Amino acid sequence: MGKTILITGAAGNIGVKITAHLRLTSDHKLRLLDRRASGDIVAADLGSWDPEWARHFAGVDIVFHFAGNPNGNANWASAKRDNIGGTLRVLRAAREANVRRVIFASTNQTMLGYRFATGPVTVDMPPAPLSPYGISKLAGEEAGRAFTEETGGDFLALRIGYFQPGENRPGAHMEIGEWGQSMWLSNRDMNQAVDKAIAAPPFGFAVVNLVSNNAGMRWDIEHTREVIGYVPLDAATPVIADKQREDDRIARARTIAPGDWFDERFFSVDP
C-alpha cells in the first residue's frame, strides 16, 4: 500500500531524480515543495515559517527534507537561514503533523577534515566540518536527534557523497581530487537508498554514509546496510592523473589557523 510522501527541494538535483523514480516505480502519493512553484510543486520558503506551506505536512507518512542551499561554499547568511533555519522549521511542521519519519539530506562535508587521514570514515567518529555548509548540515543532524527524542519518530540523516546533476557519471572531470571521486554516488544507488529508507523498519535516530562501492572508498557503508538494508549496486575506480595529484597537493598544503580559517566570502551579507 502506498504512503503519502512529502519532498522538500523537489526542484533540486536530488529532488527531481527521486520524484521521477518514485512516480515510475511506486504507488506513493507525493507532495512536492520548493522555493518556487512549478507544475505540481508548491512554493515554500522554508527559511520563514508559514502555515500555508506547513499545512501540506498533514497526513504525511514520510518527509524527505532535501531543500536548502546545496553549495559547499555557501555563506553564513544562507547556511543559517536556509539550512539550519529551514531544517528546524521542517521538523516543527513534521512534529505538529505527527509525521513519523523524516529523511534528511546531510553531507559528506560534515567529515571533510578527515580527507588526508587514513582508515575508514565512520559515523561515530567526531565530526570535522570545515565550512558554514558542513556545519549547517551537522546542526540539522542534531536537530533530528532532538526530533526523535521528543516525538519517538524516525530521523535518518544521509551523509550523501558526490552526487552530480544529470547523468552523474564518475571520472576525472570530478573535483576534490581522489577524495571526490571515491565518494561518487550513482543515481541508481541514490534511488535505492530512497526506497530502502521508505521500507525500513523503525530505527529511531540514525546517521549513515551514502556512497557507491568505489575503489579506495574509505566511507563505512556497513552501518548503512544495518540500518536500512542499503547495498550499493554501482562502483567506480578513481582516475588519478596530474590534475588530481595537484588538487590534493594544494589542499594538503593549506594551513588552517583558529580565527581565520573561513574565507571572507563566507561572510557575505547576501543570503
Neighbours of 1 (CB within 10 A): 4
The residue among 204, 203, 205 whose CA lies nearest residue 226 is 203
Which distant-in-sequence residues (6+ apart) come within 8 Å of 99 by Cβ?
A: 6, 57, 60, 61, 62, 63, 153
pLDDT at residue 246 is higher than 90:
no
b/e sequence 14-34, b meaning 16+ C-beta within 10 Å: bbbbbbebbeeeeeeebbbbb
**How far is the C-alpha of 64 from the C-alpha of 9, rounded, in Å?**
9
Query: What is the average pLDDT across 112-133?
Result: 93
For 184-195, how does the pLDDT look when each residue is reduced to its tens digit (9 = 90+)? Answer: 999 999 999 999
The answer to whether 4 and 28 have CB atoms below 8 angstroms apart is yes
**How far is the C-alpha of 56 from the C-alpha of 89, rounded, in Å?**
13
Three-state secondary structure call for residue 131: coil
For 65-113, how does the pLDDT look when each residue is reduced to its tens digit (9 = 90+)? Answer: 999 999 998 999 999 999 999 999 999 999 999 999 999 999 999 999 8
For 5-42, how does the pLDDT look when each residue is reduced to its tens digit (9 = 90+)? Answer: 999 999 999 999 999 999 999 999 999 999 999 999 99
Looking at per-residue pLDDT, the higher value among 60 and 75 belongs to 60
The answer to whether 35 and 45 have CB atoms below 8 angstroms apart is yes
**How far is the C-alpha of 176 from the C-alpha of 40, rounded, in Å?**
36
The answer to whether 119 and 255 have CB atoms below 8 angstroms apart is no
Angle at 47 between CA 45 and CA 50, to 5 degrees: 60
